[in-house]
Amino acid sequence: MHFTLRPWNINDLDSLVKHANNPKIAANLTNKFPYPYTKENGKMFIDFATKGNPAHIFAIDINGEACGGIGIHPQEDVHCKNAELGYWLAEPFWGKGIISKAIPQIVEYGFKTFDITRIFAQPYGTNIASQKVLQKAGFTLEATFENIFFKNEEYLDGHIYAIRKK
């Protein structure tokens, strides 16, 4: 399925709310991605996503509509050579290879754009699909931590996957 990565804009608000307002998506992300997902949440996110220069958070555009997001989040202080990868995709597009193709694009962009040598992601232990897509994109499992996340009134294991600049 064809998609493009592009900067977010305020015209994406309705599609963002439509696709993000899903408990299955929120279950695999931090609490900063709420359910229900309201227009106010969408406005705050788009405001945040459009402030980066250079841009580091992109809409996943399918047929002219923002159907997900992916971003590289450079770290600070002693972690300054690292960036965290985050992504989500609307449920109707799961299993179509979109995230598998988007991750290598954002990794290439991240290494070219930012002064970093490592990109990492932290999927929950319950998010097997995300673990598989990271492995497929060349990320290696660096560590597993038991019960480090507290999400929806339960403790979840966390995995650290990373890829290094060649």
User: Taking the chain (166 residues) in consecutive chunks of 10 residues, what is each chunk's mean pLDDT?
Assistant: 96 98 97 97 98 96 98 98 98 97 98 98 97 98 98 97 96
Q: How much is the pLDDT for 134? A: 98
Residue 32 neighbours by CB under 8 Å, 6+ apart: none
How many CB atoms are located within 10 Å of the residue 54 CB? Answer: 8
Q: How much is the pLDDT for 140? A: 98
Nearest to 35 by CA among 151, 143, 164: 151
The predicted model scores a pTM of: 0.96
Q: How much is the pLDDT for 95? A: 95
Residue whose entry in the numeric block shows the structure tokens 């309705």: 14
Q: How much is the pLDDT for 1? A: 85
DSSP 23: H
Domain residue ranges of the chain, discontinuous segments joined by +: 4-121
Q: 4-121 — its CATH code?
A: 3.40.630.30
Is the separation of the CB atoms in 73 and 84 below 8 Å? yes
Q: In a 3-state reduction of DSSP, which class is residue 82?
A: strand
